[in-house]
Amino acid sequence: MLSGEPPIGVLEPLPETVPATIRAAVQAALSQRKEKRPRDAAALLAMLEAPPPKEEAPLEVEPVPTPAVQSRTPPPRRVQLLTSPFRSRRGRRPTAEQRGLTKVGKNASGLEVLQNSVGMHLVRIPPGEFRMGDDEGDPDQRPAHRVMLSRAFLLGEAPVTQAEYEAVMGTCSCRFRGPLLPVENVSWGGAMLFLRFLGRREGVSYRLPTEAEWEYACRAGSLTRWPWGDDPKLADGYAWVADNSNGSTHGVREKRPNAWGLYDMIGNTSEWCADWYHEREYERSPTTPIDPAGPATGAKRVIRGGTWNTLIQGLGSPTRGMEMPSSINGYTGFRVAMTCP
């Protein structure tokens, strides 16, 4: 088991649900000398993403002439475990059907819904422009500014559940246990490993949503503090927060969705985003950034949505949070995203 982060669900040996190439790469990483082993999920992910070492050119040896015809020994085959399956040989992105996604239909909001190999529902979010941040919010939410998202993307209809997580990783170590409860006790690196394993299993490229994509999807066209409006008294119908959670997470989809059919965007568990966090990121942004991805580097990653242990007055569509990437707690989970072809 990886040292320093046992709850990520990466066991030795890995379950059969993980592709053989990934299992072989993980076992190779874990079999290295102690000082070279990955310390946590993020380090393992970096090792898996690293390109294979360059092969040294063989020494040229002058052949010894013999009367018989010499048999040529073929050069050793180069094995590259982690070549990207996300583009075809001609560089074209595969369609949704080629990615192993099945069209379910349209939700009540008229948005297309697809299903993947572990039963997750992903909603197709259209491109568009929206107002991000809040001039009356916390300092890191200012100034409010226009953001343009130029491409459609798929976003999990709900946070990843424990049943979905275990279907890919084999196990999970959550604070609260239940197949339909959102997964928590997972670091940013652990979430990325799950996405990597799920993507290799299906031959596609999953990722975390950017902070801009997350807020755009949470707002679902609204300009109010919460997706449902500006009245905190309505929160009980939409979110599990400190006022109604009874001190624990709850099953996903038990509350009403937002206007785009997305569940648990506020409360239950906060959600990892792809971006590094910077308190003054909005001040540094251009007037109308296109597809912003946050700072190039940082110490903490963005989390969004708030938790079962937070008062509704401390939450909202523009509310930002941050955690160390290695942080593991009973408050933070994630939902999957994918760029549309």
CATH number of the domain bearing residue 111: 3.90.1580.10
Domain contains 20: no
Phi, psi of 43 (to 5 degrees): -65, -40
Question: How many structural domains comprise the chain?
Answer: 1
Nearest to 172, CA basis, from 336, 334, 339: 334
Helix residue spans in the chain (DSSP H): 20-30, 41-49, 162-169, 188-202, 211-219, 281-284
Domain contains 254: yes
Domain contains 81: no
Domain contains 152: yes
**How confident is the prediction along the chain (341 residues), in pLDDT tens digits per residue?**
343 444 444 444 566 666 666 667 677 766 776 666 777 777 777 777 666 555 555 555 556 555 554 556 555 554 343 333 334 444 455 555 545 799 999 999 999 999 999 999 999 999 999 999 999 999 999 999 999 999 999 999 999 999 999 999 999 999 999 999 999 999 999 999 999 999 999 999 999 999 999 999 999 999 999 999 999 999 999 999 999 999 999 999 999 999 999 999 999 999 999 999 999 999 988 788 999 999 999 999 999 999 999 999 999 999 999 999 999 999 999 999 999 97
Domain contains 248: yes
Query: At which residue do the structure tokens 């379910």 appear?
Result: 104
DSSP count for the chain of H helices, then E strands: 6, 11
Domain limits at 130? Answer: 102-186+209-339
Query: At which residue do the structure tokens 């251009």 appear?
Result: 286
Domain contains 19: no
Domain contains 292: yes
Cβ–Cβ < 8 Å for 180, 163: yes
Domain contains 61: no
For the chain, the straight-line distance linking the first and the last C-alpha, in angstroms and rounded, comes to 37
Task: Return the structure tokens found at 89.
Answer: 């040989």
Query: At which residue do the structure tokens 């997305």 appear?
Result: 262
